Amino acid sequence: MIKPIFFKLSVCACAIALTACGASRDEFKHLPINSGGGYSSSRTDTTTTFGGVATKSTYNTQSQQTTEMGKQINNISGSNLSSVVVDGHAIDLKQNSLFSENNRQIINNDFSYMRFGTYRTQKDNIINTYTVSYGQITPLRSVPPTGSATYTGDSITNSIRGTSYFTVNYANKSIVGNINNNIHLRGTISGNSFKGDHNNMRMQGHFYGDKAQELGGTFNNINVLANGNNIVGSFGAKKQEK
């Protein structure tokens, strides 16, 4: 099992891992129970719509406590793959990595229809870490009504870059996946989005592209783990040709 390490990385290491850096792994050691997954609006026609899902986790450096984990962020806005505004923060999606005194981001932009990654802000004693999946959401009528497909891609689990693998059954409205072969996710498809809880892990996401060529989302553990190894992350994956 991956032993997640939160933000205790050098700038060089952060350029490799797809997440933020600069604080201790203890940031998420005492996380409260919370739900996650902010959803953008989706249209029923074939008009191009950009949106996605995002969560926020908050750590207080003074009390050394995480006060929120996986809180849903509903205000996600954007009109292209160059930038997105999450919870009032403008994120440049063209930048794979960007570091400043109070803001840090690393974005995976290797996909045709979506982006995912981590954005971190700090003000005084408060560190907010956002996980986000965003892109060109598949129109409802363009999601296949029958058949199945496999999607493979990338992920970020805390500060660790990894893999993602999903099997989708469009007819049964089910999606089953794993992150790094050891974090198991399950969900139910509803239109062009999906979400679900399984083995203390919560997942939410969307299909992206005009024909559901890609998918992406975020995930986090639901209940706080006594050993402190709490998990937040995001993923993106591409449909594989049969």
Lowest mean pLDDT among 4-13, 33-42, 85-94, 109-118: 4-13
- Kindly state whether residue 132 falls inside one of the protein's structural domains: yes
Instruction: Give me the pLDDT at residue 228, please.
Output: 64
Condensed to tens digits (0 to 9), the pLDDT of residues 2-15 reads 333 333 333 333 33
- Kindly state whether residue 2 falls inside one of the protein's structural domains: no
- Kindly state whether residue 87 falls inside one of the protein's structural domains: yes
Start-to-end CA span in the chain (Å): 31
26: confidence class by pLDDT, cuts 50, 70, 90: very low
- Kindly state whether residue 5 falls inside one of the protein's structural domains: no
pTM of the model: 0.81
| 184-192 CB contacts, 8 Å cutoff, 24+ apart | 185/219, 189/143, 191/42, 191/140, 191/143, 192/42, 192/137, 192/138, 192/139, 192/140, 192/142, 192/143
Instruction: Give me the pLDDT at residue 226, please.
Output: 61
Residue 35 pLDDT > 80, yes or no? no
89: confidence class by pLDDT, cuts 50, 70, 90: very high
As given in the structure block, the two tokens for residue 20 are: 């933020």
As given in the structure block, the two tokens for residue 114 are: 């979506």
215: confidence class by pLDDT, cuts 50, 70, 90: very high
Which CATH number do you get for residue 193? 2.40.160.90
40: confidence class by pLDDT, cuts 50, 70, 90: very low
Instruction: Give me the pLDDT at residue 76, please.
Output: 93
- Kindly state whether residue 154 falls inside one of the protein's structural domains: yes
Of residues 232 and 189, more confidently modeled: 189
Give the C-alpha distances (Å, rounded to integers) separating 226 from 30, 32, 43, 100, 175: 8, 11, 42, 33, 29
Residue 53 pLDDT > 70, yes or no? yes
- Kindly state whether residue 129 falls inside one of the protein's structural domains: yes
193: CB partners within 8 A, 6+ apart:
39, 42, 204, 205, 206, 207
Mean pLDDT of 105-128: 90
Cα–Cα dist 102/216, whole Å = 27
Instruction: Give me the pLDDT at residue 14, please.
Output: 36
- Amino acid identity at 195: K
Do the beta carbons of residue 106 and residue 132 sit within 8 Å? Answer: no
Residue 99 pLDDT > 90, yes or no? no
Residue 92 pLDDT > 50, yes or no? yes
Sign of CA dihedral 83, 68, 204, 16: positive
Residue 37 pLDDT > 60, yes or no? no
Range of the domain at 57: 11-239
75: confidence class by pLDDT, cuts 50, 70, 90: confident
- Kindly state whether residue 111 falls inside one of the protein's structural domains: yes
Instruction: Tell me how many domains the chain contains.
Output: 1
Cα–Cα dist 58/64, whole Å = 11
As given in the structure block, the two tokens for residue 73 are: 């962020």
Do the beta carbons of residue 165 and residue 152 sit within 8 Å? Answer: yes
- Kindly state whether residue 231 falls inside one of the protein's structural domains: yes
Residue 69 pLDDT > 60, yes or no? yes
As given in the structure block, the two tokens for residue 134 are: 């965003």
